[in-house]
Amino acid sequence: MPDRFTMQDPRHQYPAPPFPRQPQSPPGIVGKMEPPPDHGEESYAGFGRLMGRKALITGGDSGIGRAAAIAFAREGADVAIGFLPSEIDDANEVIGYIERAGTKAVALPGDVSDEATCKRIVEEAVAQLGGLDILVVNAARQQARESVDAVSSADFDKTMKTNLYALHWLSQAAVPHLPPGASVINTASIQAYEPSAHLLDYATTKAGIVAYTKALAEQLIEKGIRVNAVAPGPFWTVLQPSGGQFPEKVETFGQNSAFGRPGQPVELAPIYVLLASQEGSYITGEVFGVTGGKGIA
């Protein structure tokens, strides 16, 4: 993996397309990706910014959630990760990285599109971590469809419940446990601002996440709790080859960014750390765009 602390041309810091066509069945397996994504396994170094904090991250087995989990642990936080039961192999790898960082790791399998599961995940995280200071709502469903006619009611319902309803259910369950100084971080997307035709339902949920984040931030600052969101552009995660993009689009994924490549999950980790830490003490109701130069408006 590249040395992230040596000054270098960011356009060439990580692999650029063309990539192999590599379709997977959702939710996908990290180990099958080519080139392998960098979640910070070897490249993220912590500096103690989250010592003693207790974090719950949904979708923590892969992609952005995996990068946040590794970074939080190396910054000193105990970390619980939510993931689908079928993602257990990827989740076990993340649990290992957290434990090797010297902090407590908790594995919480379950499908967040179910309300009872969201409540259970929060309660188990609180019980096993001994409290909760950071909630990262990150698990997402993204399935490319050719046209509005191809988005079935079942598709639409599953995407809404995974991406948007779960945000509400998790927030509802977590807020009573969050002390003043706690942080909620949601994962939005550039799709909230520049929706793609083939991601109709996904883009709709991401726009909803932006609105929900801003409204919840206004509520929770009265309790001393900050709420923010991160809006990534094209990032090289297992979401893409497992149906999030059409197979031919995976070959050129990220090519149209200003960098000519997709971002790597580890390149988002410092933003999540900032928003979780006391260094972000005056930041709430904000959406941080990390879009490879495309911006958000």
Whether residue 204 is predicted with pLDDT greater than 90 in this model: the reply is yes
Q: What is the pLDDT of residues 132-162, one digit of tens each?
A: 999 999 999 999 999 999 999 999 999 999 9
Domain 48-289 has CATH 3.30.230.10: no
DSSP per position, 119-168: HHHHHHHHHHHTS-SEEEE--------SSGGGS-HHHHHHHHIIIIIHHH
What would the pLDDT profile of 103-137 be if each residue is shown by its tens digit? 999 999 999 999 999 999 999 999 999 999 999 99
Please provide residue 251's backbone torsions phi and psi, each rounded to the nearest 5 degrees.
-60, -30
DSSP letter for 179, please.
Answer: P
Q: What per-residue confidence (pLDDT) applies to 4?
A: 73
Peptide bond into 18 cis (omega under 30): yes
Task: Return the pLDDT at 2.
Answer: 54
Mark residue 54 as left, alpha or beta (left: phi above 0; alpha: psi -120 to 50; beta: remaining): beta
Closest C-alpha among 178, 159, 179 to residue 170: 178
Q: What angle, 0 to 180 degrees and rounded to 10, lies between the N-to-C axes of helices 63-74 and 88-100?
A: 20
Cα–Cα separations (whole angstroms), residue 294 to 12, 42, 119, 130, 289: 18, 28, 36, 41, 9
In the predicted model, what is the mean pLDDT of the chain? 97
What pLDDT score was predicted for residue 232?
Answer: 98
Q: State mean pLDDT over 260-271.
A: 98
The domain segmentation of the chain, as residue ranges, is: 48-289
Confidence of residue 5 (pLDDT cuts 50, 70, 90): confident
pLDDT of residue 259: 98
pLDDT tens-digit map of 25-43: 999 999 999 999 999 999 9
Residues serving a catalytic function are 202
* C-beta separation of 224 from 180 below 8 A: yes
Among 264, 291, 275, 288, which Cα is nearest to 43's? 264
